[in-house]
Amino acid sequence: MAFTNEHLKTYERDGYVVVRNLFSRPEIDRLYGLALEDEKLRKNALDRVDAGGLKTRLTLWYTLDDSLYGKFARSARIVEAVEQILGGPAAHYHSKLMQKEPRKGGAWEWHQDYGYWYKNNGFLFPDMLSVLTALSPATRENGCLQMIRGSHRMGRVEHGFSGEQIGADPEKVEEALKIMPLDYLEMEPGDTAFFHCNTLHRSDANHSEYPRWSIITAYNLVANKPYKDVHVSSYTPIEAWPGDLLSEEAAGISDRADFLVR
């Protein structure tokens, strides 16, 4: 079992935990290689403008299809850990391919994921989390994730607009940073961060010559059915997939994935 009791304790204490090498390098090479060439992912990409006017690109979809990404999101290594964390059956809320391009990929402002999901999508309980797997190395220079360690215990903070993104109340963030550590999550391909939907996080623009690509899969407790969101996957139990990403045909994303469109 890759996700140990120690990982769970760290997650509960800090609001996040990084599991190193959850996916092997050959598995990530395959997934990243497929994503780089996937025309449908590219066509459905959206730009989000940060407060400084730089764009960061992502492709988001709700429904798990038979593509390699669908298998990844259902992977037992992730789903079993998520169910341990949530304490019950998990549903797939959405998956996102994050594409922070060299030199021009923009920042993500301080926010809690639940800031979006409570406000826009009607999830009443914060029984949700995100799981980020690095596809390329994530460093301070190319804008790795930053977390305020322990901030999930603050509960939901008010959010307003920051560029085209939703940002957490800056006064609360400033005070939080005075009493809780700021962690930079430098990660190698295959490392995976599990983070609570109320953990305050952000990332800088990519100032390096290297891309920072990652895949984020978000999960919800099946019982936490949203009253606004229409995506059935967000309250449908996931059947965990026990295989590895090398043993199956590497199918690209399909239209069944139900992309977020602007």
Ligand X SMILES: O=C(O)CCC(=O)C(=O)O
Report the interface residues with ligand X, using CB under 6 A: 98, 108, 113, 143, 145, 201, 203, 214, 216
Nearest distance in Å: CB 99, ligand X: 10
Residues 196, 12: Cα–Cα separation, whole Å: 9
Nearest distance in Å: CB 242, ligand X: 27
Instruction: Please give the structure tokens belonging to residue 79.
Output: 């789903």
Query: Residue 74: which H helix or E strand, with range?
Result: helix 68-74
Task: Tally the residues of the chain.
Answer: 262
Task: Report CA-CA distances (Å) from 147 to 3, 88, 115, 212.
Answer: 20, 26, 15, 17
Nearer to ligand X, 35 or 98 (CB): 98
Nearer to ligand X, 17 or 241 (CB): 17
Nearer to ligand X, 185 or 241 (CB): 185
Which residue from 77, 70, 51 is spatially nearest to 165, judged by alpha carbons? 51
Nearer to ligand X, 50 or 241 (CB): 50
Structural contact between residues 66 and 124, judged by C-beta atoms closer than 8 angstroms: no
Question: Which residue is closest to ligand X by CB?
Answer: 203
Residues 203, 145: Cα–Cα separation, whole Å: 5
Nearest distance in Å: CB 251, ligand X: 25
Pairing of strands 16-19, 192-196: antiparallel
Which residue from 43, 78, 49, 19 is spatially nearest to 244, judged by alpha carbons? 78
Nearest distance in Å: CB 5, ligand X: 27
Nearest distance in Å: CB 249, ligand X: 28
Nearer to ligand X, 98 or 128 (CB): 98
Nearest distance in Å: CB 198, ligand X: 12
Nearer to ligand X, 57 or 201 (CB): 201
Half-sphere exposure of 141 (CA within 13 A, CB side): 8
